[in-house]
Amino acid sequence: MGSRRANDKGTTRSAPGTALRAYACGTLDPAHASLGEADLHEGVHQARKAIRRTRAVLAMGNGLLGPGAGLIDRELRALNTGLSSLRDAHALVEVIDRLLRRERSDDMRAVFQRAREAAIAVRTRVGEGATRSDPGLATRRAMLVVLRAALAALDWSRPTPAGLRMAVADSDLRSHQARRRACERDADESRQDEAWHRWRRRARRAAHQRRALETIGLPVPAASEHFDRRTTHRLGEAQDLSLLLDHCHRDSPFSKADRQALRERARPALQRARRRIARGAAERRDACPAD
């Protein structure tokens, strides 16, 4: 038994494609199952996470997996984009719930309560619209079956351990570059928001890729993993505040007075969160010789 495990591990290190194919298909399978869950919004959330993990693996192929890889990735991206309105509607309710639990001011709690009711109404409307146009999300689930079969049929024989590690290193570099742009002071708030969102996406992708390689027996530097896990979590918390602010414009479901109160509460909190993230990332970067 021990000899077989050693041989399997050696095979993974020399030709990791088979293991990576199994991992990629395994990350996509939960997306299909989740879209069939009774809890529509939680199912969509889990499905979108699964699709992002699969796309992260495809990105490591770097053109080696054959011409079908790009098509599969584009279709997965389109699926995720199509589910984003459902996810955003549910995420807004979750954000308000978290902020409400932490709030101590009675006046502000009343604002959050009204905002929560409005957000739930939006979530219900969006969910009903989605299931009316695609009952049971059956069309999306059928597309996932097709894409899963196509994914398994790609040329997984070509990726090498060195090439996969280089792909993760490239993702790390993109993440660090995005961090620098996000942490630069910019008078244009919308551009700054996009820069922070880009950093979050790139850090998250690097984390998914690192986890994929570790799962198939190809570990990557732990220092980068520490950066990704901690930072992506904090970026996610900051994104909550950004999402709330995005819903405080004129087309907001909230009243004018509540929009103003929510902006006054969320904007300085977002600025503080981003300053903490920037400081923490800079300190970890300075402490890591490999960077």
- HSE, CB side, 13 Å, CA atoms: give it for residue 72: 29
How many of the other CB atoms lie within 10 Å of CB of 173? 12
Contact 212, 54 (CB under 8 A): no
pLDDT at 276: 84
pLDDT at 167: 92
Q: What is the dihedral of CA 203, 46, 52, 238, to 10 degrees?
A: -30
| Dist. CA 257–CA 67, nearest whole Å | 53
Contacts of 262 (CB under 8 A, 6+ apart): 111, 115, 244, 245, 248, 254
Identify the CA nearest to 185 among candidates 278, 268, 269. 278
pLDDT at 1: 41
Q: Residues 228-287: pLDDT tens digits?
A: 567 777 788 888 889 999 999 878 999 999 999 999 999 998 988 888 888 776 655 554
Q: Residues 32-79: pLDDT tens digits?
A: 999 999 999 999 999 999 999 999 999 998 788 988 999 999 999 999
Average pLDDT over residues 87-105: 92
Q: Is the pLDDT of residue 98 over 60?
A: yes
Local structure of residue 254 (DSSP, 8 states)? S
Instruction: Tell me the one-letter amino acid at 21.
Output: R
Q: Is the pLDDT of residue 291 over 50?
A: no
pLDDT at 251: 84
Contact 210, 168 (CB under 8 A): yes
| Dist. CA 46–CA 36, nearest whole Å | 11
pLDDT at 60: 92
115: tokens are: 């905002």
Q: Residues 149-189: pLDDT tens digits?
A: 999 999 999 999 999 999 998 988 898 888 888 887 654 66
CA quadruple 45, 46, 47, 52: dihedral sign: positive
